[in-house]
């Protein structure tokens, strides 16, 4: 059904997907002129996301096979990016909907 991008990007698959969706989030926030407001929200949300992510990885809730293997502060690099990208995408969509 969907192309297997894991076959193309291997251990960089998760990172590539984060960069792709992060770019969309950034574009939406810039388009809505909401980047400064979103940055404040992301700074507040990040520590909560970090603890949540660290905990779920520590207890083995999920595994991430297609990643770089680089870890920072006990969680994969890609998860740090994920903690920012997901709320940024939500905020970008929300801000653009408010303008309509």
Average pLDDT over residues 32-56: 97
User: What token pair was written down for 5?
Assistant: 């991008």
Locus of tokens 């905990």: 55
* Mean pLDDT of all residues in 27-44: 97
Confidence band, pLDDT 50/70/90 cuts, at residue 6: confident
Token representation of residue 59: 């207890």
Burial of 70 by CB count in 10 Å (0-12 exposed, 13-18 middle, 19+ buried)?
A: exposed
Q: At residue 100, does pLDDT exceed 80?
A: no
Across the range 7-35, mean pLDDT stands at 95
Task: Work out the burial of residue 25: count CB atoms within 10 Å of its CB; fewer than 13 is exposed, 13-18 middle, 19 or more buried.
Answer: buried
pTM for the model: 0.88
Q: Tell me: the pLDDT tens digits for 47-72?
A: 999 999 999 999 999 888 889 999 99
């Amino acid at each position: 059904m969907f192309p297997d991008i894991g076959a193309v990007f291997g251990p960089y698959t998760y990172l590539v997907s984060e960069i792709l969706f992060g770019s969309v989030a950034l574009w939406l926030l810039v388009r809505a002129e909401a980047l400064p407001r979103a940055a404040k929200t992301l700074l507040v949300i990040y520590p909560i996301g970090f603890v949540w992510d660290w905990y779920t990885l520590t207890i083995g809730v999920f595994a991430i096979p297609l990643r770089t293997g680089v870890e920072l502060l006990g969680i994969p690099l890609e998860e740090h990016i994920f903690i920012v990208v997901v709320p940024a995408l939500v905020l970008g969509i929300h801000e653009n909907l408010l303008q309509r």
